Amino acid sequence: MCRLFAVTSDTPLSPMKALEALDAMREGHDGSGVGLFMRDLGGPFAAIKGAPILSGIFTDAGLKKLDTLMMDIGFMTKYRMGIQLPETPPAGTPPRDIYLIRAYDYPRTWENLAEEEKHRRLLKVRLQLREMGEAEGDMIVFSFWPDVIMIKEIGDPLTVGRYMDLDRHGITARIIMAQGRQNTNYAINLYACHPFFLEGFATMTNGENTAFIPVKEFLESRGFDGYIGFQSDSEVFVHILHYISTFLDLPLDAYKHIITPLPDEALNSHADASVLRILKQSCRRLIIDGPNCIIGNLPDGTLFMAQDSKKLRPGIVGGKPGVWAFSSEVCGLDTVIPDRDKSKDFQPMHLDMAMVGPDRKEVKVCRQTDRLSRQA
């Protein structure tokens, strides 16, 4: 199994906090890898919110290729975070030349473009870089998006965090998602490492999506170039979230209805039965299966947790106004928010989705039996 931890906080936190939470849950993962997603950044990035940040791992040669390409397009480096590494990496972690976190100024020629078009192009650049790095393995790109940083590496989460000395580099964020991974896929590919990111949406999952192939085939045939990769059966969760939000313009609570629709009987007595039936039928190929606890983040900062239709994986939400955490296990919550009211901790069940909005006032729970928040 994997272990998940996510936190959303009014005051920016160090990612090491999240890694400590993962460490508290280490009996649940084998420490074979770690993934970090950070949004709404503090520290040096607080002042450059609009600038797209490229996160990835590069060799020296890869970096040269990157610079040439970025220069060609017209991107100018705005801020670069150099991560200094000790001589030898910890056991299990391969030596890397550069962990890249670099903010850019948009090319001049993009200045008058609509936000949406800029974002489209950022995706194109990220995909291009990813493709360029595929052959030699000299560029691995996780995200290229304003106010978002991602780090992924092989090895024990806390050890990797200390090795990169994340605290010293002053990276902080108001939203952090972290995954400690169980390597079930043997072939170690960082692209298979959660969290996954696409155009502002991010998800990570503890579980196994047994409906992977039909879901993948459906997404691939939507004609959208961002639905690629599929190194992990969990990557489709972010694609589905992206699809229903951007293509279908559905609210977040519809996500749960898409991936685990209500059984027919419950559906028939639902107040939104007609639209839900249409969604169940037309999005049938997006129904997931198997045990899955999903934690995700929307472009507006909303953090959520959803469970599979049988609730086969652990997951708990707790906190206090201003700071809330979503965790696989309660010990993760205890590590980061020990002073919360534990009697208010909530474990989403098979029909539930728990979310904390950008205001961080409360945990909102939508149950699939409730009405949809917004009509489709």
Partner 1 sequence: MSANGQIIPSSLSISDLPWQIRWDQDKCTLCGSCTAVCPVNAIELGVFRKREITAGLGLAEKPSSSQSIRYGIRQRTSPAYACVGCAMCSMVCPNDAISPVRNDGSDKLRYHINQGGQPRSRGGRRNDPSGLLDQIKFIRISMLTDPALDAGRHTFDVNTLLGRVLEPRDALKHQREHGWMPPVREIYPLVIGGMSFGALSPTMWEGLQMGVAYLNEEMGMPVRICTGEGGCPPRLLRSRFLKYVILQIASGYFGWDEIIHAIPEMKEDPCAIEIKYGQGAKPGDGGLLMWHKVNRLIAAIRGVPERVSLPSPPTHQTQYSIEESVAKMIQSMSMAWGFRVPVYPKISATSTSLAVLNNLTRNPYAAGLAIDGEDGGTGAAYNVSMNHMGHPIASNLRDCYLNLVKVGKQNEIPLFAGGGVGKNGNLAANAAALIMMGASGVQTGKYIMQAAAGCLGSEQDRCNICNIGLCPKGIASQDPRIYRRLDAEKVAERVVDLYLAFDMELRKILAPLGRSTSLPIGMSDALGINDYHAAERLGIRYVV
CB contact at 8 A, 142 and 55: yes
Greatest alpha-carbon span in the chain: 63
Count of residues near partner 1 by CB under 8 A: 37
CB contact at 8 A, 24 and 335: yes
CB of 229 to partner 1, least distance (A): 17
Please list every residue from 180 through 199 that binds partner 1, using CB under 8 A: 184
**279 counts as binding partner 1 under rule CB under 8 A:** yes
Q: What's the chain's length in residues?
A: 376
Q: Which is nearer to partner 1, 91 or 186 (CB)?
A: 186
Give dist(CA 25, CA 328) in Å, integer: 8
Contacting residue, 47, 71, 76, 278, with partner 1 by CB under 8 A: 278
User: Across-strand partners of 179?
Assistant: 4, 35
Single out the segment in contact with partner 1 by CB under 8 A; choices: 40-48, 218-226, 317-325, 351-359. 218-226
CB of 177 to partner 1, least distance (A): 22
CB of 284 to partner 1, least distance (A): 5
* Cα end-to-end span (Å), the chain: 35
Across 272-289, b (16+ Cβ under 10 Å) vs e yields beeebbebbeebeebbbb
Binding mask 223-262 for partner 1 (x = CB under 8 A): x-----------------------xx-----------xx-
Contacting residue, 206, 309, 328, 368, with partner 1 by CB under 8 A: 309
Nearest alpha carbon to residue 289 among 226, 218, 214, 221? 214
**330 counts as binding partner 1 under rule CB under 8 A:** no
Please list every residue from 47 through 76 that binds partner 1, using CB under 8 A: none
User: Across-strand partners of 289?
Assistant: none
Nearest alpha carbon to residue 165 among 72, 89, 111? 89
**117 counts as binding partner 1 under rule CB under 8 A:** no
CB of 137 to partner 1, least distance (A): 26
**371 counts as binding partner 1 under rule CB under 8 A:** no
Single out the segment in contact with partner 1 by CB under 8 A; choices: 158-166, 186-194, 288-296, 351-359. 288-296
Give dist(CA 167, CA 19) in Å, integer: 11
Give dist(CA 278, CA 374) in Å, integer: 16
**218 counts as binding partner 1 under rule CB under 8 A:** yes
Provide the H-helix boundaries in the chain.
15-24, 60-73, 115-134, 157-164, 212-220, 236-242, 253-259, 264-268, 273-282, 330-336
**105 counts as binding partner 1 under rule CB under 8 A:** no
Contacting residue, 48, 69, 113, 312, with partner 1 by CB under 8 A: 312
**264 counts as binding partner 1 under rule CB under 8 A:** yes
Contacting residue, 68, 274, 369, 373, with partner 1 by CB under 8 A: 274
- Contact residues: partner 1, CB under 8 A: 184, 208, 210-214, 217-218, 221-223, 247-248, 260-261, 263-264, 274-275, 278-279, 281-285, 287-291, 308-310, 312, 376
